[in-house]
């Protein structure tokens, strides 16, 4: 009980060594699609960076990599993670979900937390997002593309959260 109260029950996340290569797993169960299928030009035209998108099958988002939570938006609709290689990944749940002001979203992490692939990040109410936002499609964006040497995308496949590779990225 005291361990839980003081946060001492948190597991230590063993961070891998930086090797210049990040294997990015799916943050959700669902279909992996090209960014061009996202109904928002900011993502579809790669204005924020390159990546892929997931059409989620349920309302659970897990960490696609080992890394550190760099940003958790106050509305809990988006989270930024930095890998040991310095790659910055933005997971943006749905389109126009910022307007929901956090309604239907529950975060399981905070800024500064270390996470392992498959750790629960955010849960969201799919029905509520379908009702109040434009789409549940979830872009996964490489926001610091200047350090990317190459990115191999694994699109047009069904993915399982935390275990299906969606991108393999080499950093400079």
Determine whether 92 is an active site residue. Answer: yes
- The number of CA neighbours under 13 Å toward the Cβ of 109 is 28
- Hey, is 163 helix, strand or coil? coil
Stretches in the chain below the pLDDT threshold 70: 1-18
Instruction: Report the alpha-carbon distance of residue 131 to residue 107 in Å, rounded.
Output: 20
> Which residue is listed with tokens 């799919």?
126
At residue 18, the pLDDT reads 64
Domains of the chain, by residue range, sit at 18-171
At residue 17, the pLDDT reads 65
What pLDDT, in 10s, does the model give residues 108-150?
999 999 999 999 999 999 999 999 999 999 999 999 999 999 9
Q: Which of 66, 77, 92, 154 is catalytic?
A: 92
Question: What is the CATH code for 18-171?
Answer: 2.70.70.10
């Amino acid at each position: 009980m005291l361990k839980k109260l003081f946060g001492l029950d948190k597991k230590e996340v063993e961070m891998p060594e930086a090797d210049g290569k990040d294997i990015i797993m799916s943050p959700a169960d669902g279909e992996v699609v090209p960014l061009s299928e996202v109904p928002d030009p900011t993502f579809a035209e790669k204005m924020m960076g390159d990546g892929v998108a997931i059409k989620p099958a349920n309302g659970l988002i897990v960490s696609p990599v080992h890394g550190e939570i760099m940003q958790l938006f106050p509305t809990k609709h988006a989270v930024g993670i930095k890998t040991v290689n310095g790659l910055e990944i933005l997971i943006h749940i749905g389109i126009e979900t910022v307007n929901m002001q956090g309604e239907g979203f529950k975060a399981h992490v905070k800024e500064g937390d270390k996470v392992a692939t498959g750790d629960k990040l955010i849960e969201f109410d799919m029905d509520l997002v379908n009702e109040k936002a434009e789409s549940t499609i979830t872009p996964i964006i490489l926001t610091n593309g200047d350090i990317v040497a190459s990115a191999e995308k694994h699109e047009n496949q069904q993915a399982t959260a935390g275990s299906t590779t969606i991108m393999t990225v080499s950093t400079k």
